[in-house]
Structure 1
Amino acid sequence: MYAAWDPVHTDYTSRTALPGPRGLAESTDDWLAIHRGAPNGHLLHPGTNQMLASLTSGGPVHLMHTTPYLDVIRATGELHGSGGCLVGALYCAPLTATPDGLRPHNLGTYLLRTKPDTKTLVFEVRPEAPAPAKGLNYLHLGGIHLDTYLAHRGFLTTGEDDHLRQSAVGRIREASGFLDLLLADARGEHTASTTAFFHQLAATVPHMPFLGYLYFEVLSEYLLLHSTSPETKAYAFAGEMNNRLYKEVAFAAVKTMGRLFDLALFNPDRAQLTELIDRIDPALALGADAYVRRRLPHLFACAALGPDRDAGLVSFRHAGTDFDTLATLAPHLAGQLVFREMRTLPRYPALFPVFEQAKATSVYAYWNNQNIAVPFNGVLPKGELGLNLAFTRASCTAWVAEPCERGLLHPTEQLNLLPVPRLADLRGTALGRAAFPGPPAPPAGPSPRPAMVGATSAA
């Protein structure tokens, strides 16, 4: 079980990256060196990244969470996870304790500014020992998704199962030309102009929504690592990546992002990309298309195939013949497709606690084994983290907090809350409300749920 989760996590203390498929023009270690050599590459190290330093120190970790459900939390006294946050954690941002109050990370400041109708909870987690700098990279969850589907197929009707498999294969057939182009680029065989590349990318995302997630993360990586604006420099001086950059990219590119944060809709073409980056960080606009053209094929090959495949032996024209062939040639992409297709099933609210809780329970066990009380988004250590609701080797205190005129948070009311290692009902999440409107189940908490507890027992 633990072996399956290791490749999903990035260890930021390591001098080497987890291997990608064979046959690529650039290795994962090549890209690690490129990232560390970027203007903000020093923030990939635990010694210089404020969040990583806090998580690995073994000392108290302070977090904040914004929620519109404070009354529900008080009434139930329980805190549940969200399938949309690191598989099953509680969405938070870091805080730094100062003599004058708790200083939010710039992600927290952004949340406080853009979510005015919410209340803020703060948590102090006291682990028994330092944690590793291992963050979960959701782009590499394809193998987990596939294994979970295969282990729980018996919960699907024959019609549902046939629909998932046929839909996944159908999407591969529709997108096979561009997917093969991506693999060719990853192998070093450039087969299309940059303009044609972006035209095909924008046209393919609707057929292959996972590409929207990859595209967004490539742009986020480019901005966070290469921005040298005064604002970014100020945050870097404090040991923080500038989260405003990728937030603005997402909301500027997709008009409906405020209703549901859905990166499957992220598909700007080349001209739109340049205009988008020019609005957010003008100094980086001219280099964005070249970076995406070079980086996206490599990231796609790693996310779609996994480390034990040879990119030179895979063609998606052949992988699109049937689901079993797809799962053999590109198991991680097969898993990503099944995961996303399942969310379109009318019966998904009933299937959600089966498939998604299985993943959450499994990752809780991995985090406990690795001594991770506070997991974080490991695509980059930018400031997005959560709470492991199943962790027993830490104490944690929760408060309601209010900001002062200086933007610092001050606890005003201590809460006695029980962390429950169980996902909230789907209809209490943003995805559930958007995709399955109607009378919701009584909410146990919000989508990015609040979190932890008075004290947990040591074990």
Structure 2
Amino acid sequence: MRDEWEHAHTDYIMPVQRRIPASLAESESDWRHYLERSTPNGWLIRHNAMTEALVSGQPMYLLHVTRDIEAIRTSRQLHVSTGCLVGALYCSPLASQREGLRPHNLGAYLMRTKPSTKPMVFEVIPDAPIRPKGVDYLHLGAIHLRTYLRYQSFLTPAENDQLDRAVLAGLRAAAVFLDVALRNAAGHATSAPEFIDQLSDAVVHVPFLGYLYFEVLSEYLMLHSATPETKTYAQAGELNNWLYKRLAFAAVDGMGQLFDLARFNPRHHRLVQLIEGIEPALGPGVAEYVRRRLSHLFARTALHPSQDAASVTFQGADLSTIQKAAPGLIGQMIFREIRYMPRYQQLYHCFEKAKALEAWDYWNSEGIPTPFNGILPKGEIGINPVYPRSSVRVWTAEQDSKGYLHPAEEVTAVFTPHLASWWAPPRQREMQNATDDSRVELALGARSPIPTRRLSMNGVSA
């Protein structure tokens, strides 16, 4: 169990230590070396303001925005959310300056786009320097699978049968592309435009691919961008989060109402249009980057490290065989299928609390009071609610005309080991017009990594 959590974390000051499948054309170390040294902003992977604040051991100031400040005041409790941080209060860094607390560009984005929320400032005083080990949700598949197998009895026989059928149907429909991705990961390159179109079609059947697709493009934009805006943020030690936000909202209609990466599947022509619309110079290289990078990440996140990527095939394989070869992929698919069962509101705490407890135990043993999204150290950081060796204070905050935050009223509230409830809409099939040709395609809708509405527990939601 601990090995799985270690595998799901990335340490940005240590050499790569993960085991990976055999026959990959490029190792994780190869990719780390390339990203850090051969991209304009790669130096920020190691030397960004957030990780430098972590390793300093000094007090950290974090921004959280909430719609439920009165419930927090009344209950004097803070609950945490799931999502990319598993079980932490989602925040972004604040830089303490003479003029006040300056929000990270991610925090500035959240405050500008969520004007109905109240900013809160958290002061976290750690007991020691914090290793910059971030949790990478793309690597949580084996943990999702183990959790499901442990609590499988919580589902009815009909629900388990439905789950098996849905996962197997998705695998069969996407099997050709999944094999293509593994061949590319093993060095047998295919046409990049064709690869992108096959990927686009496969996302409908294996929604996890939409998350991979989006994260690869986010990485591409943040590390390769050379705009004045990006350079300004880089001077402050920050990767530019506005880039991938623009991408998401341009690529998927209604993303503002339901941030749903399972709907993220632009075909090749549309992909190039999207990237050129954000930064024209990055359009020509994007398809080849996605082909290489997504293939590599798919092999690493889907397959068990003991497997040989060159010999695994999804075509014609039964579910038991695939589960042994690709537990990461099966876990990610099961995780998303369970979330859209009619009884998910009842099942949510059974499955997600189990994972949160393990994450908290891992973070406590590793000295991590403030876990962060480890796909890249881009500013998504959280607060571990049960870390026993740090002190936390919290205030409401006011923003001045220059954008700086100033603590206003201290809030008497403590963290509790509870997850804010999560409501997910039932899955629907919706008709979508393809943006790059005249065909009409079926797409899976209503699969959200972020709740459209949080229901308060004991009057509390944070």
Report the equivalent of 1:124: 123
Q: Distance in 1 between matches of 2:458 and 2:248?
A: 28
Q: Distance in 1 between matches of 2:2 and 2:459?
A: 29
Report the equivalent of 1:206: 204
Q: Distance in 2 between matches of 1:432 and 1:309?
A: 30
Report the equivalent of 1:247: 245
Correspondence list, 1:402-421, <5 A: 402-421=398-417
Q: Which one-letter code corresponds to 1:370 in the other structure? A: E
Deviations 1:139-185 (A, max 9, x none): 00001001101111111111111111221111100100000000011
Q: Distance in 2 between matches of 1:445 and 1:413?
A: 19
Q: TM-score, normalising length from structure 1?
A: 0.92
Report the equivalent of 1:453: none
Q: CA deviation at 1:198?
A: 1.6
* Change in 2 beyond 3 A, CA 1:433/1:261: closer
Q: Is the Cα contact below 8 Å between 1:428 and 1:443 reproduced in 2?
A: no
Q: CA deviation at 1:386?
A: 0.7
Q: Distance in 1 between matches of 2:69 and 2:459?
A: 11
1:107 has 2:134 as partner? no
User: What RMSD, in angstroms, separates the aligned Cα atoms of the two structures?
Assistant: 2.1
Q: Distance in 1 between matches of 2:425 and 2:399?
A: 26
Q: CA deviation at 1:426?
A: 2.0
Matched residues, number: 442
Q: Which one-letter code corresponds to 1:40 in the other structure? A: N
Which secondary structure state, in structure 2, belongs to the residue aligned with residue 258 of structure 1?
A: coil
* Change in 2 beyond 3 A, CA 1:434/1:105: closer
Q: Is the Cα contact below 8 Å between 1:212 and 1:266 reproduced in 2?
A: yes
Q: CA deviation at 1:133?
A: 0.8
Q: CA deviation at 1:218?
A: 0.5
Correspondence list, 1:33-432, <5 A: 33-37=33-37, 38-45=39-46, 48-190=47-189, 192-319=190-317, 321-322=318-319, 324-427=320-423
Q: TM-score, normalising length from structure 2?
A: 0.92
Deviations 1:101-157 (A, max 9, x none): 101111111111111111000000001111111000000000100110111111111
Q: Distance in 2 between matches of 1:34 and 1:318?
A: 36
Q: Distance in 2 between matches of 1:440 and 1:373?
A: 26
Q: Is the Cα contact below 8 Å between 1:199 and 1:270 reproduced in 2?
A: yes
* Change in 2 beyond 3 A, CA 1:85/1:194: closer
Q: Distance in 2 between matches of 1:117 and 1:271?
A: 37
Q: Distance in 1 between matches of 2:215 and 2:452?
A: 29
Report the equivalent of 1:457: none
Q: Which one-letter code corresponds to 1:6 in the other structure? A: E
Q: Distance in 2 between matches of 1:406 and 1:212?
A: 37
Q: CA deviation at 1:17?
A: 4.8
Q: Distance in 1 between matches of 2:81 and 2:269?
A: 36
Q: Is the Cα contact below 8 Å between 1:83 and 1:89 reproduced in 2?
A: yes
Deviations 1:372-431 (A, max 9, x none): 000000000000111100111100100000100110000110001110111112239998
Higher strand share: 2
Q: CA deviation at 1:195?
A: 2.4
Q: CA deviation at 1:436?
A: 10
* Change in 2 beyond 3 A, CA 1:442/1:417: closer
Report the equivalent of 2:6: 6
Q: Distance in 2 between matches of 1:439 and 1:228?
A: 37
Q: Which one-letter code corresponds to 2:131 in the other structure? A: P
Q: Distance in 1 between matches of 2:230 and 2:456?
A: 42
Range 416-425 or range 175-184, more displaced: 416-425
Q: Is the Cα contact below 8 Å between 1:79 and 1:444 reproduced in 2?
A: no
Range 194-203 or range 383-392, more displaced: 194-203
Q: Is the Cα contact below 8 Å between 2:23 and 2:309 reproduced in 1?
A: yes
Q: Is the Cα contact below 8 Å between 1:40 and 1:226 reproduced in 2?
A: yes
Higher helix share: 1
Which secondary structure state, in structure 2, belongs to the residue aligned with residue 242 of structure 1?
A: coil
Q: CA deviation at 1:276?
A: 0.6
Q: Is the Cα contact below 8 Å between 1:125 and 1:397 reproduced in 2?
A: yes
Q: Distance in 1 between matches of 2:249 and 2:321?
A: 37
Indicate the percent of aligned positions where both proteins have the same amino acid.
49
Report the equivalent of 2:440: none
Q: Distance in 1 between matches of 2:175 and 2:391?
A: 50
* Change in 2 beyond 3 A, CA 1:164/1:173: same
Q: Distance in 1 between matches of 2:101 and 2:224?
A: 29
Which secondary structure state, in structure 2, belongs to the residue aligned with residue 91 of structure 1?
A: strand
Q: CA deviation at 1:308?
A: 2.3
* Change in 2 beyond 3 A, CA 1:445/1:307: farther
* Change in 2 beyond 3 A, CA 1:413/1:376: same
- In the TM superposition, structure 1's runs of 4+ consecutive aligned residues that sit over 3 Å from their partners are 427-446
Q: Distance in 1 between matches of 2:249 and 2:386?
A: 33
